[in-house]
Amino acid sequence: YLQLPMFADFSVAESAATAQIMRGLGYTWPLISAIFADAYFGIFNTLLVTALIYMAALILITIAGSADAFADWMVPMYFYVLFPAGFGGIKSLVNIMGANQFHPVIHKGEISGYYLIFYICVNIGAIASTVIQVYANELKDQYELDPDGASGPALYKAFVVPAAVFAVGIVVFLAGRSRYVYR
């Protein structure tokens, strides 16, 4: 997406550098979110905040994928701030939040089963989201006219489904908050 003229019009080198910086920042955020969770706000609150940041990233990339709504500030905001903070925070906390729902002694054997199922679901979700994004982006009616009359891909279609599914996930997460074990 970074190389498309209507999106960022980056060169291959600029695209690769942006992706690498984003990954580096994303793998730094688990440390930061762990500090926030352990020392200040707790796992639930920190996970909720990072989920909302990630939701903001998904909304931004969805909006940025429209030729009508794209603005230059969206690329650095998404790739350098919202996405790394969101996925990095979630990455370090969501599995711990789930494991905390088991008693460490009574459910000792079930915790390993939880992690197995958790990572199977994570990988199925990653595969499904990739397939959905590719399919959504390949739809025949993916082209729309931008304000200058030039045709460009309607990239937002590839991000609507993940944003909607993630929004439902946040609602489900919040709905269960009275039943969670907080440690």
Q: Which of 166, 167, 170 is nearest to 125 (CA)?
A: 166
At 2-29, the pLDDT tens digits run: 555 555 667 778 888 888 898 899 999 9
Q: How confident is the model at residue 150 (pLDDT cuts 50, 70, 90)?
A: very low
Q: What is the pLDDT of residues 68-91, one digit of tens each?
A: 777 778 888 988 899 999 999 998
Helices (H), 36-156: 42-64, 74-76, 83-99, 108-137
Whole-model pTM: value is 0.81
- The proportion of the chain whose per-residue pLDDT surpasses 70, expressed as a percent, equals 83
Closest CA to 5 of 119, 140, 148, 168: 148
pLDDT, the chain, mean: 83
Separation in Å, CA 79 to CA 18, 27, 60, 63, 179:
7, 13, 10, 14, 35
